[in-house]
A and B are shown apart, each in its own frame.
Chain A
C-alpha cells in the first residue's frame, strides 16, 4: 500500500523453506568420497546458539579435521566425551543426518566425525 507517496508494503517475512533437493543431490556425490576416512582434529569449537536448521542438535561441537590425504573437512563431532575435544584427537568420518529443514523436505545426509 502507498502512504504519502512511499511504498509501505510489508516485505515478505523470512520463512525457512525446504532445502533444494537438487542441492542435496549434488552435494551427496561429494559426501560419498569422504565417508569412512580417518583424520585428526586441527581446531574445534562448541556451538551453543545455532541457526534454525541446527537447533535440535545444540549444543554441539564442530571440528576442522585434516584427513590422511591432507584434505581439510568441517563436521560436527558426535558420540563424544568432553575429553575428546582437543587438537590432535584422532577421528573418523561417519554418515549422519546433517541438518533438519522442513518436515516435507528431502533429508540432508552428510559427514560428521566420531572420536577413535
Chain B
C-alpha cells in the first residue's frame, strides 16, 4: 500500500524572482523538510511539466533535477498537458506498486510568466490537435465550444457558469498560497471581458507560476515514523482523442468518466463517500462537466446544481469541491496543478487545511485533465 506522507507547495502567482528550477528546488526542499527526509533517502523522482521545452528550450529536466538534488537515482518526466502533474503522480504510484520499500518524490512545476500572453497561449495550444491550432482555436476556444454546446443543449446561460468562479474565489480567499485571494460576485464574472465566447476572463484560470511536491512511500518503517500519512487507494489515468471533434460526445469528457469508474471500483467505495474533492476547473464549464462526469451529479443538471453552491465550504456537510481555490483562484501553473490537487486532499484528510478544513473527511478525490479531455487522472485518497 502506497502512502502519501508529505506535501509542500510554493506560492502560486506571478513569481518574478524565481525561475522554473528555483521553484522546483523550493518545492523539493520544502517537502523533504516536512517529512524529515534527506535527499539521499529518495529512490526515484517523477517530474510533471508541460511548457519548459516549448517556451524556454529547456528539456532533459531529469538531469537538471539530479543536479539540484545531488543524486544519481532514476528520475522521469511526465507530460500530458495540464494533466502532467497527475500523470507524474500516477507513474510514481505505479512505480511503487512494482518496487517495495521505496520512497518516491513527485514534483510538478511550471514557469509561465516570463513570456507574453500570446506566446504562452500559443505554447498552451500545443495541448490541442494540429487542426485545432491551425483554425486559431486557443484553449479557451475549445472549452468555449464545449460551454456553448452545453448551455444550448441543457438550456442554461452564462450566469450558471459564473457560480463556479464565485465559489472558487471564496475558497481562494481562505488559502494563503492561492494566486487570487479576493472574493468575487456573479456580477463581476458576467461583466468581465470575453476570452472565447461564452467564457470570460473570470471564467478562466489564470497564467501562474508555481511548484508543488509530494512524497509517496511503501516503506512501512518510514510510514510508522511519519506524523501524517494517507493511503492512495486508487490512481487511474485514462486517455481519449486529442481532437475535441473526434470525441463521442461534446458535453462529456469520457476520459474522466472512465477514470472515475475504474478508480471507484478499485477503491471499493462509492461517490457518496467522498467528502472533499479537487476537480479540474481550468474554465468554469470544466468544473460543471467534471462533477457530472465523475458521477457526483447527473448529466445536464450541473448548470442548475452549481447555483445552489452546495459544494462551497461552509454550506453543509456534503461534498465540498476545490477548497484550494481550484485552478481558477489558486492559479494554474500547468505541471504543478495535478500535484497541488492531491496535496490539498492530503491536507484535508490530515486536518492541516486551516481556515478551509472540511470536517470528518475520510475519503478525498483529485481529478486532473489534460487538454480538452485527452487525458484524465483520478486519484482517491483515504485517511
Task: Find out whether A and B make contact in their complex, taking CB atoms under 8 A apart as touching.
Answer: yes
A residues neighboring B (CB under 8 Å) = 6-7, 11-14, 16, 27, 42-55, 57, 59-62, 64, 72-76, 87, 98-99, 108, 110
Q: Is the CB of A47 within 8 A of B136?
A: yes
Q: Is the CB of A45 within 8 A of B119?
A: no
Say yes or no: A47 contacts B196, CB within 8 Å.
yes
- Interface presence of B154 (CB below 8 A): no
Specify the chain A residue showing the minimal Cβ separation from B130: A27
* B134 in contact with A62 (CB, 8 Å): no
Shortest Cβ distance from residue A105 to the other chain B in the assembled complex, whole angstroms? 15
A-B residue pairs, 7 tightest by C-beta: A45-B144, A51-B122, A12-B57, A74-B135, A46-B197, A54-B136, A52-B118
Across the interface, A76 reaches (CB within 8 A) one of B116, B135, B144, namely B135
Given A53-B122, A87-B152, A43:B250 Cβ within 8 A:
yes
Q: Which residues of A contact B131 (CB under 8 A)?
A: 73-74
Is B194 in contact with chain A by the CB < 8 A criterion? yes
Residues of A within 8 A of B246 (CB): 72
With A11-B57, A45-B145, A60-B136 given, can you name 13 additional A-B contacts, CB distance below 8 Å? Answer: A11-B58, A14-B57, A45-B148, A46-B144, A47-B141, A47-B144, A49-B121, A49-B196, A51-B119, A62-B136, A64-B245, A76-B136, A98-B136
- Binary interface profile of B, 183-195, with partner A (CB < 8 Å = 1, else 0)? 0000000000111
Q: B residues near A, CB below 8 A?
A: 54-58, 67-68, 115-119, 121-123, 125, 131-132, 134-138, 140-141, 144-145, 147-149, 152, 193-198, 244-246, 250
Q: Is the CB of B58 within 8 A of A49?
A: no
Whether A62 and B137, one on each chain, are in contact in the complex, defined by CB atoms closer than 8 angstroms, is yes
B residues near A108, Cβ cutoff 8 Å? 134
- In the complex, the answer to whether A48 meets B121 with C-beta atoms within 8 Å is no
Shortest C-beta distance, B245 to chain A (Å), equals 4
Residue of B at shortest CB range from A98? B134
- Please measure, in the bound complex, the distance between the C-alpha atom of A49 and the C-alpha atom of B116, giving whole angstroms: 12
Query: Most B CB atoms within 10 A — which of A13, A50, A72, A110?
Result: A50
Contact of A45 among B56, B57, B141 (CB under 8 A): B141
A14 and B115 contact, Cβ closer than 8 Å, known pairs A46-B196, A49-B196: yes
Given A6-B67, A87-B152, are A51 and B135 neighbors across the interface (CB < 8 Å)?
no
Q: Could you name 11 residue pairs across A and B whose Cβ atoms are closer than 8 Å?
A: A11-B57, A14-B123, A45-B197, A51-B136, A51-B138, A52-B119, A57-B136, A59-B194, A75-B135, A76-B135, A99-B136
**Which residue on chain A has the smallest CB distance to residue B245?**
A72
Contacts of A53 in B (CB 8 A): 122, 136
Contact B118 A43 (CB under 8 A): no
B118 near A62 (CB under 8 angstroms)? Answer: no
A87 to B131, CA, bound (A): 20
- Taken together as a complex, chains A and B put the C-alpha atoms of A45 and B244 apart, in Å, by 13
Q: Is the CB of B196 within 8 A of A14?
A: no
Q: How far is the CB of B261 from chain A (nearest CB, A)?
A: 26
Q: Which residues on B sit within 8 Å (CB–CB) of A7?
A: 67
Given the complex of chains A and B, what is the CA–CA distance between A80 and B221 in angstroms? Answer: 68
Q: Is the CB of A51 within 8 A of B125?
A: yes
Least distance between B93 CB and chain A CB atoms (Å):
31
Asked whether B118 lies within 8 Å of A51 as measured between CB atoms, the reply is: yes
The answer to whether B115 touches A43 (Cβ under 8 A) is: no
Which single member of B58, B118, B134 contacts A55 (CB below 8 Å)? B118
Q: Flag if B123 contacts A49 (CB, 8 Å).
A: no
Residues of A within 8 A of B119 (CB): 14, 16, 51-52
A45 partner residues in chain B, CB cutoff 8 A: 137, 141, 144-145, 147-148, 196-198
| Option from A46, A49, A74 in Cβ contact (under 8 Å) with B117 | A49
- Min CB distance B115 to A, Å, is 6
Given contacts A14-B54, A51-B125, contact A64 B145 (CB under 8 A): yes
Bound-state Cα–Cα, A60 to B196, Å: 9
Report B-chain residues with C-beta under 8 Å of the C-beta of A12: 56-57
Chain A contacts of B57 at CB under 8 A? 11-12, 14
Closest residue of chain B to A11, judged by CB? B56
> B145 and A43: CB pair below 8 A?
yes
